[in-house]
Every structure is written in C-alpha cells, then in structure tokens.
C-alpha cells in the first residue's frame, strides 16, 4: 500500500451480503450474465457460491452446475435473493 492511499479493510460492496445466511440461494449479476447458487461466504475478495449455474442476461442456462464458483467482488453488478 502506498502513501496517500486510504486503507479500506472491507470493500463497500461486501455490505450487500450482510443479511444473507450461508446457504441462501442468491443471484449474482455480472456484465455477461448472472450466477444462481447457494451463498458460501466471502473470502479473499471473492464471493463463493456452491452448486451454482451460469445464466445469460435473458435467463437461459449457459453451462451445467458447478460445485464451487469464485466471483470477484469487483465484477458483481447486482445481488438478489
């Protein structure tokens, strides 16, 4: 960390996840689509989803289920339950 750079221990977007318990089904949006899966927590700047599936912006599944998906918090555009 350089001089003059503010120290932010937790990115502001992490606050979006405060009310969701582990295991809650969430939709995490990104530019090219969204993931639907069970919330697994936040670790090292990424949101973890288990049993997750990627969908296109129009809602059709793109790929099969994945056991664990790591989504960088910077890439998330929306969070819904």
3-state DSSP assignment of residue 13: helix
Q: What is the pLDDT of residue 61?
A: 93
Confirm whether 52 is domain-assigned.
yes
Q: Is residue 49 part of a domain?
A: yes
Residue 3: the pLDDT is 60
Model pTM above 0.95: no
Count of the separate structural domains present in the chain = 1
- What pLDDT does residue 19 have? 75
Per-residue pLDDT of the chain (81 residues; tens, 9 = 90+): 556 656 555 555 555 666 788 899 999 999 889 999 999 988 888 999 999 999 998 989 998 999 999 999 888 988 888
Burial of residue 81, with CB atoms counted within 10 A of its CB: 0-12 exposed, 13-18 middle, 19 or more buried: exposed
> What's the confidence (pLDDT) of residue 13?
56
Domain span at residue 54 reads 12-80
């Amino acid at each position: 960390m350089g001089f003059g750079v503010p120290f932010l221990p937790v990115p502001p977007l992490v606050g979006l996840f405060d009310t969701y318990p582990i295991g809650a089904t969430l939709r995490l949006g990104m530019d090219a689509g969204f993931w639907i899966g069970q919330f697994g927590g936040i670790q090292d700047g990424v949101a973890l989803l288990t049993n997750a599936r990627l969908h296109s912006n129009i809602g059709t599944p793109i790929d099969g289920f994945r056991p664990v998906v790591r989504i960088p918090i910077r890439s998330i555009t929306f969070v819904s339950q």
